[in-house]
Amino acid sequence: MEQLTGGCHCGRVRYTINGKLGKVAFCHCESCRKATGAPVTVAVMGLKDQFVFTDSQPTLYQSSDHAQRGFCSTCGTPVCWQGVWHEEEQMFVYAGTLDNVDQVIPDRQAFTNNQISWLRVNEEIPAFDQTSPAVIEIPGH
């Protein structure tokens, strides 16, 4: 995967992701659920310097001791998370903001200890009660 593009609902915040992604994960944590209003999110993560905002920057707020989240101040679309993950500056965008969501496939689930009881996602991929390791072995890949 060389480059992905995406943005908010109104088009004011646009981004490009360059290079190989670090992970694509279903995230069941309460923080993501509250920030997006969705029962689960899909995080498309890479190193922070892989992400370039090409139009307006998202508005950032401190969502925890270790991370900030960004949204479009015009339409309100949640766009990104940035912080330190496994001792590296990382960023993720929500898969729903990609121009072509089919370009990414989740390879893991994180924070399944917070998963909503009535929700089932791909149970064939590795699942972790907390955050996932930086690198995982996926059978058949």
Mean pLDDT score of the chain, rounded to an integer? 90
- Tokens standing for 96? 């729903």
Percent share of the chain, pLDDT over 90? 72
**What structural domains does the chain harbor?**
3-114 (2.170.150.70)
Structure confidence at residue 2 (pLDDT): 78
pLDDT over threshold 50, residue 139: no
pTM summary value: 0.87
Angle, alpha carbons 119-25-90 (nearest 5°): 140
pLDDT over threshold 80, residue 17: yes
Cβ-Cβ contacts under 8 Å for 87 (sequence gap 6 or more): none
99-109: average pLDDT? 94
pLDDT tier for residue 65 given thresholds of 50, 70 and 90:
confident
Outline where 5-108 has alpha helix (H). Answer: 30-36
pLDDT tier for residue 134 given thresholds of 50, 70 and 90:
low
The more confidently predicted of residues 131 and 38 is 38
